[in-house]
Amino acid sequence: MWLSWVPGWTMVIAVCRMFGYRRFKVFGFWLVQCNYIIIIGAVYIGTLVWCISIWPYYRSNLELSPPLALRSGMMSAAMYPFMFAMALKFNPISLLTGISHAHLQIYHQATCFLAFIFAVIHTAVFVNAPLREGGMKALKEIWFESFTTYWSGTVAIFFMLWICLSSLGVFRKMSYEFFVVQHIVFAALFLAFSFVHFEDLLRSNIWLWVTLGVWLFSIVSRSLMVLMSSNFFCGPRAKVRVLTRVSKTGNLDEEKPAEYLRLSFVTNLRWHAGQHVYVRFPGVYPWQAHPFTCMSIPSASPHLPNELVLLARVHNGITRQLYNKTAAQGTETSIKKEYAPKLEESKSADSPSDGLSSVIDHNPEKHIMEDAGIAIDQNTREITAYLDGPYSHNYSLGMYEHSVLVAVGSGITFCLPQVTELLRRSVHDDSIVTTNVCFIWMVQSYDMIRWVKPEMQQLYELVQRSKISVQMHVYCYRETVPYEEYLHDFLQVHHGQRVDVAAAVEQEVQAAMERKSRSMCVLSCAPKPIVALVGNKVSAVNAHLAMGKLGSLKDVRFVTVLFDL
């Protein structure tokens, strides 16, 4: 970036990142990153001071509305379009700025709470004004004189309170599907009662019409995207796979594998690494779409069909129903030990000694769950699914000379395609500066490795052709025996241990300095505690960068994706 040559600019950016990436733990809960706190806090302070700093608050004549009530009410109404826009998947803000709707969610919540605060001020002043002049008698007279306005406003503010409270994480985690349905229903009711309450006084309905227009724009746009991606509801069916049993050794007859869903289907849809789609299953859960991160990348040629692969941990709701239906009604196949690939028999004379290109069967139907010495039962079924997306913007790791990726569990679906796309770009001589990639993946068991074998094979083939150095470390902290299958040279599996992510990031910073790298990106897709540890470490690294202690490193960025609903 040309601004990097401006004197002092590197230090300014490092100081901003030092404060922005920092997270604090309060009463056992991790707060959001400080950059959000600073921005939201500035908006809260600025608008509240603007609202309450102008005098007088009341008029001497009760027939005229109090200035503070009008001002706070109009400020609350003016936030409606932004409040709704930042909640929508397809919205004008994302179109104009490129910021993903997922990163706007915290601003959506903050705007909703701020609009509620102004609505409370608006209500309190209107209630207090007649009480100051004539007590309860005056309040009762005004209530019945403007009955429609007062009762509709009362209902609207209670709807707004419920929307704010139900959007807190503790309620969303109880039942995300119920949260989404009730959130939409109460938002529609809130908007309807706002129309009744406003009565277009001071032309206030303009904010409601804009809000309704933004909402309808999103609905129509998403509907068209679903129609086109599904070939007008005649598109290919999704293939759903689940593991039902893993037999490991003679001492342990059966083991119930980690419950995951792997969906794959051929589509004309194009997407980038890191993007996600919403999938609607009309035969299972027709009234709601579920988000899935795209684990695969589209074909290099735009003229070839693309295989979209989605992987998700099974929770309650849609994923649980899909898992149960597939396990109970799907076609069962068993991959036994004698069908596992034998390294000695499969190697060809011209294959590289450190490769697996000739060993792995490229048929995903066979080797997706195949493991040497392991018998696995998997169930497969086809189901109708409609795609809505893709959403989110991709992060270009090619801008950074050194990249570190930290994933936990199904966070691999976000990080793995980033590396795959980066390597493919480097193979095609794209303009990238990356020279080294370190990938850290933490999982509970070896089951997750079996789920992503086809993608690992694709990654290995690209590593062989690319000049970028790639090291991948998989930490299976609940496994007590080594992983027995032959693996690619760039991939190391560690069993029975957890990784100190802060120390790992520090080690990679030192490695980047030794290689004289100028830029570095740390990307994390994990639960909040892991993301907080990595973010705080990158914050400390930027503090050292601002003091000029990192040698050649002038740019250290942190990109985060949280699992939390």
Task: Note the pLDDT of residue 344.
Answer: 35
The stretch 144-162 carries a mean pLDDT of 90
User: What mean pLDDT is predicted for residues 533-541?
Assistant: 95
Q: What whole-number distance in Å separates Cα of residue 27 and Cα of residue 30?
A: 8
Please give the model's pTM, rounded to 2 decimal places.
0.82
Residues 6+ apart with CB under 8 A from 192: none
The topology (CATH level 3) of 1-18+395-565 is Rossmann fold (3.40.50)
Is residue 352 predicted with pLDDT exceeding 90? no
Average pLDDT, the chain: 81
- 495 burial (CB, 10 Å; 0-12 / 13-18 / 19+) is middle
When pLDDT is cut at 50, 70 and 90, the band that residue 35 belongs to is very high
Longest distance between any two alpha carbons in the chain, whole Å: 99
Q: Are 501 and 533 in contact (CB under 8 A)?
A: yes
3-state secondary structure of 542: helix
Return the half-sphere exposure (C-beta side, CA atoms, 13 A cut-off) of residue 359: 24
Decide if pLDDT at 254 tops 80: no
**If pLDDT is split at 50, 70 and 90, which confidence band does 360 have?**
very low
> pLDDT digits over 455-502, tens only?
888 888 898 888 899 999 999 887 767 776 656 677 888 888 888 999
Sign of the alpha-carbon torsion through 147, 150, 156, 162? negative
What mean pLDDT is predicted for residues 366-392? 63
Could you please report the per-residue DSSP string of 441-504? EEESSTHHHHHTHHHHHHHHHHHHH-SSEEEEEEEETT--S---S---TTEEEEES----HHHH
- pLDDT the model gives residue 388: 83
Q: Given this model, what pLDDT does residue 86 score?
A: 93
On the question of pLDDT at 520 being above 50, the answer is yes
* Domain regions of the chain by residue span: 1-18+395-565, 32-226, 233-343+362-393
